[in-house]
Structure 1
């Protein structure tokens, strides 16, 4: 165990991108079970993410690996937040109506069942009429 610890000293190790690459590799390997025998050479595609993951784990260039992980997390978080916001919007669709401000494109939420009303954007203070 001490030899492994000394070997890994100064190396990057695992992170979120490495986990995602391993999961992708595992999924591709599962899909390869259903591919016809004459296309089995595509198994190289399934092992490629795993090889990249191993390269990242044993890399000594910590700065580059950290930047790669940061870029991955930015993209992942955008996608996760988009889904989270849309799911939340669908859950509250019965009680709230959603509008978009024509000036600043801010999303506004108005309670349903109040009839016609004047809606004021809290961001740019522009006002428009809407039915809730």
Structure 2
């Protein structure tokens, strides 16, 4: 038990000033690495093995990096690129119960319930009111 605590303390000390977070970018990098590693035996193309190892190395680099601000910026930039895709998936998932409209004033996307007839919609961004058909 004492030996286990010693190792735990060493690991905690080693990771003290490091990024060490499993953020969205790291999760997706590890997933792509895993997929590439699974594809490799079926295709026998070494490029999949190399891609997998490079992605895994990059993930470890990000985890063990001491430059926390740079890693946070990378993750935020990745999340910004990913947000339109996530919005489209959400729209597709909710297509039966919601309709997505644009505010005519500021072009903000507004979600309104479907099949409610004509309703007065207030934009949360610019507070412009308009009657719209759902």
- Structure 1 Cα separation of the partners of residues 113 and 19 of structure 2: 49
Q: 1:98 to 1:43 in 2, by over 3 A?
A: closer
**In the TM superposition, what whole-angstrom CA distance separates every residue of 1:11-54 from its partner, at most 9, and x where no partner exists?**
1102222122111100111111221x3x3244111211111000
- Structure 1 Cα separation of the partners of residues 113 and 17 of structure 2: 54
Q: 1:34 to 1:7 in 2, by over 3 A?
A: same
Residue 86 (1) aligns with residue 88 (2): no
Unaligned runs of 5+ in 1: none
- Partner of 2:37, secondary structure, is helix
With normalisation by structure 1, the TM-score equals 0.68
- Structure 1 Cα separation of the partners of residues 79 and 116 of structure 2: 40
Over aligned residues, Cα RMSD in angstroms? 3.0
Equivalent position of 1:10 in the other structure: 17
With normalisation by structure 2, the TM-score equals 0.68
- Structure 1 Cα separation of the partners of residues 87 and 96 of structure 2: 15
Equivalent position of 1:22 in the other structure: 30
Q: Tell me which structure has the larger Cα radius of gyration.
A: 1
- Structure 2 Cα separation of the partners of residues 9 and 110 of structure 1: 49
- Structure 1: which 4+ aligned runs deviate by more than 3 Å? 97-114, 119-128
Count the aligned residue pairs.
Answer: 121
Q: Which one of the candidate residues 32, 53, 57 is aligned to 2:63?
A: 57
Deviation at 1:59, TM superposition (A): 0.6
